[in-house]
């Protein structure tokens, strides 16, 4: 069984922090989207790089790709098709954006629950050392937690690390 590759959108695929710059980063296209919560008013600006789809499809030979994003199933409607990805399974978070007493990211426990002992790599812009330590103590399988800079998004080095780790 392949390890899981758990993919966040905002930060790794959509370097949202770069939206404050006058032009999108090289290779990125600006999309205006209306996922749930954005039906009225100004559409949500989302930066996507089509090369990320190619990179993720190449990793699919080594991983089972899974959305680990607050976009949940809407990732398959709004983001996946723009990157050339097929529909992917997603983590259906029981709760979102909650605080934790121990300082871990709110997604961390749910990611470990979803993996259910399977090896996994996780790319997200909010992962910290606290999360890495928590996963090491609570997940019996191999894991790779890779923090992605939300100003930059996934870069070639991230894809290389993920390919080597798998």
Q: What is the CATH number of the domain that holds 10?
A: 3.40.50
- Report the alpha-carbon distance of residue 134 to residue 47 in Å, rounded: 31
Give the tens place of pLDDT for each residue, 84-97: 999 999 999 886 67
d(CA 67, CA 9): 8
In a domain, 96, yes or no: yes
CA dist., res. 20 & res. 135, Å (int): 33
Residue 126 lies in a domain: yes
Give yes or no for a contact between 26 and 87, defined as CB atoms under 8 angstroms apart: no
Query: Residue 26 phi/psi, 5° resolution?
Result: -55, 135
Per-residue pLDDT tens for 141-154? 999 999 999 999 99
Residue 39 lies in a domain: no
pTM tops 0.85, yes or no: yes
The residue among 123, 87, 118, 93 whose CA lies nearest residue 107 is 93
User: Can you give the pLDDT at residue 96?
Assistant: 65
Closest CA to 89 of 78, 107, 69, 73: 73
Neighbour count for residue 65 (Cβ, 10 Å): 18
- Write out the residue range of the structural domain in which residue 146 sits: 4-14+49-165
Higher pLDDT, 36 or 150: 150
Least confident window among 21-25, 92-96, 126-130, 142-146: 92-96
Q: What are the residue ranges of helices labelled H in the chain?
A: 50-59, 75-78, 80-83, 108-115, 129-138, 156-165
pLDDT score for 43: 87
Domain count, the chain: 1
pLDDT confidence of residue 137: 96
36 lies in a domain? no
């Amino acid at each position: 069984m392949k390890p899981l590759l758990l993919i966040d959108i905002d930060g790794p695929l959509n370097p949202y922090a770069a939206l404050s710059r006058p032009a999108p980063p090289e290779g990125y296209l600006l999309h205006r989207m209306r996922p749930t919560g954005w039906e009225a008013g100004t559409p949500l600006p989302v930066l996507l790089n089509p090369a990320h789809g190619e990179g993720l499809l190449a990793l699919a030979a080594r991983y089972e790709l899974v959305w680990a994003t607050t976009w949940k199933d809407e990732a398959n409607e709004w983001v996946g098709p723009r990157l050339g990805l097929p529909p992917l399974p997603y983590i259906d978070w029981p709760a979102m954006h909650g605080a934790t007493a121990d300082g871990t990211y709110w997604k961390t426990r749910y990611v470990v629950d979803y993996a259910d002992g399977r090896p996994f790599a996780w790319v997200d812009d909010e992962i910290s050392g606290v999360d890495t330590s928590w996963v090491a103590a609570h997940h019996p399988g191999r894991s790779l937690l890779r923090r992605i800079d939300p100003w930059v998004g996934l870069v070639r080095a991230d894809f290389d690390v993920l390919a080597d780790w798998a």
